[in-house]
Amino acid sequence: FLLFAEHSSHGEPRSTDAPLPGGAKSGRRVKLIHVLNAYAIKGDNNDGPASPFDQLSTIKSIERARRLRPPDLEVDFVCAVFESDRQALSDLPCRKVILRRSTRSEYEFIQPSKELPFLQDIINAAIADEDRDADFFLMLTNSDIGLTKYFYKHLRPKLESREALSINRLTIPMTNITTKITNAAAFLAQVDSNLELGEKHPGYDCFIIHSSV
């Protein structure tokens, strides 16, 4: 399970960012559209589509972080999904938007013909018509990248006078994690207790971009 780094030596989020004009101003309510591509897979008994546990635990972590977000940050959580997965994912607590094309529809010569999304389509799906000319930040993460509970709280000050951020992740070692656990809340509690053991990862898993970009 992968968590965004919530603490540095000063208790701040780790991020690679640069002060730029045009970001969110202090004291003003800011809108953040957080999007990920949700998908369905077969259940353990191959008895129908299900959402994988790493994705469910990720979504539960986002739910929790949204509850603990600061009052001056609005978080619109969006799941970009294929029509074929819509029914299986109907219970997910996010605004679901249908992706209209995939690698299967566009590249029929690729075998096997797997249904994968295009990055630009995920971005476009997240932005509602009323937001096209609005002032907001777009945040893109993968479906297996969880949030620490105070992620949005620590993120809000980082949106001051910045147009873009890239936030790296912590990889939580599985030594003290029960791998067969199926309760997301219990799983996140285990992760919380092992945050200090998290290892910095050099990859890029969270991208935040202002609408002016």
The predicted-structure confidence for 156-174, as pLDDT tens digits, reads as follows: 999 987 899 999 888 888 7
Beta bridge partners of 3: 146, 170
More confident residue, 193 or 133: 193
Rg for the chain (alpha carbons), in Å?
18
Taking phi first (over 0 means left), then psi (-120 to 50 degrees means alpha), and beta for anything else, what does residue 27 get?
left
Q: What is the pLDDT of residue 109?
A: 76
Task: Give the three-state DSSP class for 51.
Answer: coil
**In whole angstroms, what is the distance from residue 87 CA to residue 105 CA?**
20
What is the end-to-end Cα distance of the chain in Å, rounded?
31
Q: What is the pLDDT of residue 9?
A: 32
Alpha carbon 4 to chain centroid, angstroms: 10
**In whole angstroms, what is the distance from residue 137 CA to residue 140 CA?**
10
CB 194 within 8 A of CB 173: yes
CB 162 within 8 A of CB 17: yes
pLDDT digits (tens, 9 = 90+) for 53-71: 788 889 999 999 999 999 9
CB 93 within 8 A of CB 79: no
Amino acid at 26: S
Beta bridge partners of 136: none
**In whole angstroms, what is the distance from residue 66 CA to residue 75 CA?**
7
- pTM tops 0.85, yes or no: no
pLDDT digits (tens, 9 = 90+) for 114-146: 789 999 999 999 998 877 788 999 999 999 899
Beta bridge partners of 192: none
Number of H helices, E strands in the chain: 5, 13
Q: What is the dihedral of CA 83, 3, 173, 190, to 10 degrees?
A: -90
